Amino acid sequence: MTDSPAFLDVGRPPVPDMVIPRGVVPFHLPQRPVRGRLVRLGALGHALLARHDNHPAVTEMVGQALALAAGLSTALKFRGTFSLQAKSDGAVDLLLADCTDSGELRGYARADAELVEKLLAGNPNPDAAALLGTGYLAFTVDQGTAESRHQGIVSIEGRSLSAMALHYFETSEQLKCHIHLACRHTEAGWRAGALILEKVAGAGGIDPSLDPEAQEESWRTACALASTLSNDELLDDDLTAERLLFRLFHSEGVAADRARALSYGCRCSRARLSGILQSFSDDDLDHMAVDGTIVMTCEFCAYDFKFPRADMHGQTVSKR
């Protein structure tokens, strides 16, 4: 609690000033119809995930969603935010991860702790399907205006988050992909990563001697090689991206492109929340207050912003 105006309140602990310079490494297989992204969140994974008091099974799913959002966003050309959102009727009824065009990453899951415990009683290792239940998965590119907002939605299908994402690309984009997601708590803390392959449409950059069947065989070979990746390799801080890519695809040839940075990206603002509160009526503010204080929680960084009710002056609601 502070007596300072909202815009002068510096009582909030600073969010981690953390940047992973090589968080996403795009790559391609020269003369083959294959391109991809290797995502390693490193210590950023722990900074994002450890702020939430979720069951490890839920945290693992959030970590996978963060890695997936980072990998997919860097395949697009846009200005704004790319988001992944799952809404469902399960123990986790909301899963959200987003990444800006500059690599600012954030995410969280809204879980019913009681339902999660009931689920764990009968299934100690629930997969994403068990946690989410029935619902939909949406991918959204938001560039700030209604005209530039693009969204694709499919029903949740598949046991894992990677299978759900593949279902989206198969049904909505008619795009062939291979997706490997991993997240777990290691000796160094929470780590998350992703390997995403995409079959390139058209002939650009492909060996002209490869007919359609040869291209398809090359794609199947790349997927088979990618399937040899273990979670240990994907989450190993000491194994560089270049070494891992060479280990996987050296027989086909592999070339890494310019790496993309990822950073801690919660964009909450005390001043913004104060402005939102000022738009409510005095009656609404009175109902929000507990012992003279209004608490607004940022779900992404799990921080409680506290506003003295006496400092908040809502809109006057006329009564007729």
Reported as a single tens digit per residue, the pLDDT across 181-239 is 999 999 999 999 999 999 987 655 666 667 888 889 999 999 999 999 999 999 999 99
**Which residues neighbour 309 within 8 Å (Cβ) at sequence distance 6 or greater?**
285, 286, 288, 289, 292, 293, 294
pLDDT band at 306 (very low <50, low <70, confident <90, very high): confident
Neighbours of 5 (CB within 10 A): 10
Q: Cα separation of 69 and 142, whole Å?
A: 13
Domain range summary for the chain, segments of one domain joined by +: 21-264, 269-311
Closest by CA to 219, choosing from 208, 206, 235, is 206
Q: Which of 128-132, 190-194, 254-258, 302-306 has the lowest mean pLDDT?
A: 302-306
pLDDT at 67: 98
Residue 120 and residue 129 in contact, taking contact as beta carbons nearer than 8 Å: no
CA distance from start to end of the chain: 37
CA atoms within 13 A on the CB side of 115: 13
d(C-alpha 74, C-alpha 9), whole Å: 35
Assess contact for 200 and 177: CB atoms under 8 A: no
CA 299 to chain centre: 14
Are residues 195 and 244 in contact, defined by beta-carbon separation less than 8 angstroms? Answer: no
Measured CA to CA, the distance from residue 181 to residue 174 in angstroms comes to: 21
The answer to whether residues 66 and 107 touch, using CB atoms and an 8 Å cutoff, is: yes
Alpha-carbon span 153 to 65, nearest angstrom: 16
State the pairing for strand pair 104-111/260-264: parallel
CB hemisphere CA count around 43 (13 angstroms): 8
CA distance 137 to 126: 19
Task: Choose the weakest-confidence range: 15-29, 91-105, 108-122, 284-298.
Answer: 284-298
| 3 state SS of 226 | helix
* CB 252 within 8 Å of CB 225: yes
Closest to 240 measured CA to CA, from 16, 35, 21, 46: 21
Per-residue pLDDT at 11 = 46
Q: Which range, of 9-13, 138-142, 241-245, averages the lowest pLDDT?
A: 9-13
Topology of the domain covering 21-264:
Hsp33 domain (3.55.30)
Task: Look at residue 319 in the predicted model and tell me its pLDDT.
Answer: 40
What is the C-alpha separation between 191 and 303, in angstroms, rounded?
A: 22
pLDDT band per the 50, 70, 90 thresholds, residue 315: low
Q: In angstroms, rounded to a whole number, what is the distance separating the alpha carbons of residues 175 and 162?
A: 14
Closest CA to 66 of 277, 300, 281: 300
Distances (CA, A) of 143 to 52, 81, 138, 194, 318: 28, 6, 16, 25, 37
Query: What average pLDDT does range 237-250 have in this prediction?
Result: 96
Mean pLDDT of 60-88: 94
